[in-house]
Amino acid sequence: MIPGSYLQFKFPMYTFIYFSPTGNVLHLAKLLATELKSPVENLLPLEFTEPKQLERNEHLVLLYPIHGFNAPKTVKQFVKSLPRDLYECVSLIGVGCSTGWANGAVSSELRKSLGKKDYSIILDEILAMPLTFIMSFPDDLNLKLIALSESMIADLSLRIREKIASKRRSGSNLKL
C-alpha cells in the first residue's frame, strides 16, 4: 500500500459542514465532497453537529444558504462556537438565488468570527441556486442556475485542494 494513501484514509483532509433547509446547499456539498474524493462520513449537517465534538482536520468547508443577504443566525452561532486550532484553514461557500452585489457582504460576520480565532480563509464564494422562498423562479432559469453552479464545482475543488484563496473577497478582508 502507498503510505500517502494510507494516511489519507486514516486522516481525511476535508470536513464539510452544511446547513441546507431546502436541499440546494446539500446538493452542492455532495458534489464538492465527491469531487474532492472525500468520504460521505465527512459531510456533516450543521444542526446535528456539536462544534466542541468535532475532530481535527486539515480544511473545513462550510456551506450555507443566504438568508436576507446574510448567513443564517444558526450558522453564525455555530461559527462563534467553533473551537480554535481545529483546522489549518476554512473555506466558505454561501448559496443564494443570485450572485449579485446585494449578497456581497454575506460572509463578513463569519469571517470576523473566524479571524478572531486566527483561522485562515481560503475560499469565500457565492453560488446561485433556485429560489426556495415563498415563490419560485421559472423552470428554465432554475435549470440554468443549477447547471452553472454544478459547472463551478470542479474549479472550486481544485482551488480548495491547491489552497488558492478567493480574490473576489480580498477587499472585504481589509474591513475586518
Ligand X SMILES: Cc1cc2nc3c(=O)[nH]c(=O)nc-3n(C[C@H](O)[C@H](O)[C@H](O)COP(=O)(O)O)c2cc1C
User: Does the footprint of ligand X cover residue 172 (CB under 6 A)?
Assistant: no
**Whole-number minimum distance, CB 110 to ligand X, in Å?**
15
Candidates 15, 91, 103, 113; binder of ligand X (CB under 6 A) is 103
**Whole-number minimum distance, CB 79 to ligand X, in Å?**
17
Chain residue at closest Cβ approach to ligand X: 96
User: Does the footprint of ligand X cover residue 21 (CB under 6 A)?
Assistant: yes
Task: Give dist(CA 101, CA 109) in Å, integer.
Answer: 17
| Count of alpha carbons within 13 angstroms of residue 66, beta-carbon side | 27
- Within 62-101, the residues that bind ligand X by CB under 6 A are 65-69, 95-98
Cell matching residue 140? 428554465
Tally of residues, the chain: 176
Cβ atoms 56, 87 nearer than 8 A:
yes
Candidates 86, 131, 146, 165; binder of ligand X (CB under 6 A) is 131
How many other C-beta atoms are found inside a 10 Å radius of the C-beta of residue 26? Answer: 19
| Count of alpha carbons within 13 angstroms of residue 169, beta-carbon side | 23
- Which is nearer to ligand X, 79 or 119 (by Cβ)? 79
Nearest-CA neighbor of 75 among 42, 110, 99?
110
User: Does the footprint of ligand X cover residue 129 (CB under 6 A)?
Assistant: yes
- Which is nearer to ligand X, 146 or 165 (by Cβ)? 146
Cell matching residue 129? 441556486
The C-alpha torsion from 79 through 54 and 58 to 174, rounded to 10°, is: 10
User: Does the footprint of ligand X cover residue 12 (CB under 6 A)?
Assistant: no
- Which is nearer to ligand X, 9 or 69 (by Cβ)? 69
Residues that bind ligand X (CB under 6 A): 20-25, 65-69, 95-98, 103, 129-133
